[in-house]
Amino acid sequence: MSIVSNLGGTKKEEFMEKALNTASKIKDEGMRTQVISSIVSNLDGTKEEKLMEKALDEASRIQGEYMKAQALSSIIPNLAGTKKDEVIGKALDTAAKIQNKHLKTLMLLSLVSSLDETKKGEVIGKIIDAASSIQDEHLRAQTLSSIVLNRYGPKKDEVMEKTLDEASGIRNEYWKVQVLSSIVSNLDGTKKEELMEKALDTASKIRDERLRTHALSFIIPNLDGQKKEKNMEKVLDMTVHIQDEYIMAQAMSSIITNLDGTKKDEVMRKALDEAFRIQNNDIRAYVLKIMLPHLRSLSITNLYSWWRRTIQIQAGRTRNDSLVDVTILIPDIHYLGGEEALIEISQAIEDVSRWWP
């Protein structure tokens, strides 16, 4: 179609009309679909509507349902008014007859981008139904992720909820997490808080600790509203049951960096208790380093209470473990007691090393 760019006026219209006539004689339906799509994107001028109708007639004659739907979907973006609604109706009917569930869903999704918000609301039920029947969970996950990227106006909350319900039914946990990620990053509106709780509940049932932590990493920053503090406590409870200490440390870092509100001190104390239970010195040090900047945001009373708790815990630890913790916590020790506290601790370490070499 590069020749078209050099034509104008009536010559272009005559050429496009001949091209449509030629396209109608192409036996290979894939090629015919490509040619029709190319012609439609170049139509303009006084005969545009007439030629568009002719292209529509040619597309309707294609026997292969998928090819027909593809041709129709290429025509839709170039239409306006009542003709557009008519073609959309034909394309939807054609898509509904496609037996391959994956192809059907892709066809419907390609149509969605050409619909206004009202029409999208009418079509989305068909799309989600088609997606839910895709047997291959990888393809189903991809399709569900594509669904949430469209705008649905007042129907958006309903679409998100249905998609979330479908995601929870995916058995492959990797693909389940991929869909959850797409949904959570697109949640807003009046039902966001309710749907975030649903997403959190779905994440809590993921057995693979690494995948569960990955799901929590994008859910936690999106928690807000009146139930944020309650949900953060729920996340912390989920985190402490993670067996792999490194994975637990990753989950705790997400929690700590997103803490706020009236229960911040309480949740922080719980998180610190769990951090001190980590046996691996490097991992424990990693978590404590993340916590340090947030510790200073605690009230002075709670900070002293936390320090007393820390001393009690250190009393039951090995010398090596205690030295690791104290080294990490030096900035907070200085914050609480100044240089005098640092000198006293340094002297205590020297005394212990001398008494019990």
Please list, in sequence order, all residues whose beta carbon lies within 8 angstroms of the beta carbon of residue 355, skipping any fewer than 6 positions away: none
Residue finishing a domain among 165, 180, 206: 206
Residue finishing a domain among 175, 206, 237: 206
In a domain, 351, yes or no: yes
Q: What is the total count of domains within the chain?
A: 3
- Give me the pLDDT at residue 123, please: 76
Instruction: Find the DSSP H helices in the chain.
Output: 9-23, 29-40, 48-61, 65-75, 81-96, 101-112, 117-132, 137-147, 156-168, 173-184, 192-204, 209-219, 228-239, 245-256, 264-277, 281-295, 300-315, 319-355
Long-range pairs, 279-288, Cβ under 8 A, ≥24? 279/245, 280/245, 280/246, 281/320, 281/321, 281/324, 283/245, 283/246, 283/249, 284/324, 284/325, 285/324, 285/325, 285/328, 286/249, 286/253, 287/249, 287/252, 287/253, 288/325, 288/328, 288/329
117 and 84 part of one domain: no
In this structure, what DSSP letter does residue 244 have? S
Q: Which amino acid makes up residue 279?
A: Q
339 and 355 part of one domain: yes
- Give me the pLDDT at residue 291, please: 75
94 and 8 part of one domain: yes
90 and 124 part of one domain: no
Please report, for residues 6, 112, 212, 261, 274, the alpha-carbon distance to residue 76 in angstroms, rounded to integers and kept in the order given: 25, 11, 42, 50, 58
In a domain, 258, yes or no: no
- Give me the pLDDT at residue 352, please: 60
Domain limits for position 332: 301-357
Residue finishing a domain among 151, 184, 206: 206
Question: What's the token pair of residue 9?
Answer: 């006026």
39 and 113 part of one domain: no
116 and 93 part of one domain: no
In a domain, 50, yes or no: yes
- Give me the pLDDT at residue 178, please: 94
In a domain, 242, yes or no: no
Q: DSSP letters along 36-53, please?
A: HHHHHTT--STTHHHHHH
Q: Tokens 């978590």 belong to which residue? A: 287
Q: Tokens 């473990």 belong to which residue? A: 321
94 and 107 part of one domain: no
Consecutive 10-residue averages of pLDDT for the chain (357 residues): 53 79 86 85 70 80 82 76 72 77 76 72 78 86 85 81 92 94 87 90 92 90 81 84 84 79 71 80 80 72 74 72 76 70 69 62
175 and 196 part of one domain: yes
24 and 120 part of one domain: no
In this structure, what DSSP letter does residue 186 have? T
110 and 201 part of one domain: yes
59 and 106 part of one domain: no
76 and 133 part of one domain: no
- Give me the pLDDT at residue 293, please: 73
Distance CA(114)–CA(125), nearest Å, equals: 16
